[in-house]
Amino acid sequence: MPVHRSGSTKSRRSRFAAAGTLLAALSLLIALPGASNAAGGSPAGPARGTATMGMGVVAHDGQGGLPIGTRAVQTEGVDVASYQGNVAWATLWNSGVKWAYTKATEGTYYTNPYFAQQYNGSYNVGMIRGAYHFATPDTTSGAVQANYFVDHGGGWSRDGKTLPGVLDIEWNPYGAQCYGKTAAQMVAWIRDFVNTYKARTGRDAVIYTATSWWKDCTGNNAGFATTNPLWVARYSSAVGELPAGWGFYTIWQYTSSGPTVGDHNHFNGALDRVQALANG
């Protein structure tokens, strides 16, 4: 006679029910914001506001050696953001750094909490300094972000110590590298920003970018070279190809691993040329 194992059947049903409950809980967990990190999944990416100048350069363009000797005179500078905290400006000055740019804003939702120490501290040791804005073209218009930048530290005055503001336009650390825009839309967004910045300050903004990003996301547009100084990012022994239209760079960010502050730059000229840019 067959033996009826009711206890075994109930046990299997209990295990199936428990497995279903566990799967439902895992589905809910994965659906929660940031939960994939907690569950050991892929990272959700950096938090809004934490973007810094050149943070995507190594991942997209790689990293080579430091610049080799050049016949042209170069003036050393740095760029800083909140992750550096209170910067040792006297140490940098004594090492030969003569100018600095500080992140002021990002989008229309972030201001650098260390801006005063960094922007005023560099000025107080004798540096010529300026401010930069990390663009997020997928959040608000170029004009809105330019106004936000000017209103939160990105202004300019002809005091001989203040450089024009910088539009930092590069890979999107929070999503699609071109911020979901076509090349034509990106060019229009940049034009909106720089036109508004000039209307507010009287100065043409410096454009910071990388050649590969500029090619991918603006179609290698050549329409800004006659008005906007170029700050190009390339971590190698030579600056390499420049974006279309620019025959030379004004600033070259050549490393993110320098002493004291990681991001180091060459200004393409002697200190009097840095002062000339400051004076407009």
Question: What is the value of pTM for the model shown?
Answer: 0.81
Q: How many residues are recorded in the chain?
A: 280
DSSP 115-164: HHHHHHHHHHTT-EEEEEEE--TTTS-HHHHHHHHIIIII---SSSSBPP
The one catalytic residue among 79, 106, 204, 263: 79
Is residue 168 annotated as a catalytic residue, yes or no? yes
pLDDT at residue 213 in the model: 98
Residue in this structure with the two tokens 């200190």, named with its chain if needed: 271
pLDDT at residue 157 in the model: 96
Q: Which CATH superfamily is domain 57-279 in?
A: Glycosidases (3.20.20.80)
The first and second tokens of residue 198, run together, are: 């000039």
Residues of the chain with pLDDT under 70: 1-44, 62-66, 68-71
The first and second tokens of residue 30, run together, are: 């994965």
Question: Partners of 166 in the beta sheet?
Answer: 132, 206
pLDDT at residue 60 in the model: 80
The one catalytic residue among 106, 151, 159, 170: 170
Per the CB < 8 A criterion, the answer to whether 145 and 108 are in contact is yes
pLDDT digits (tens, 9 = 90+) for 185-196: 999 999 999 999
Is residue 138 annotated as a catalytic residue, yes or no? no
pLDDT at residue 34 in the model: 33
The one catalytic residue among 61, 106, 168, 263: 168
Beta 206-209 vs 230-233: how paired, if at all? Answer: parallel
Is residue 170 annotated as a catalytic residue, yes or no? yes
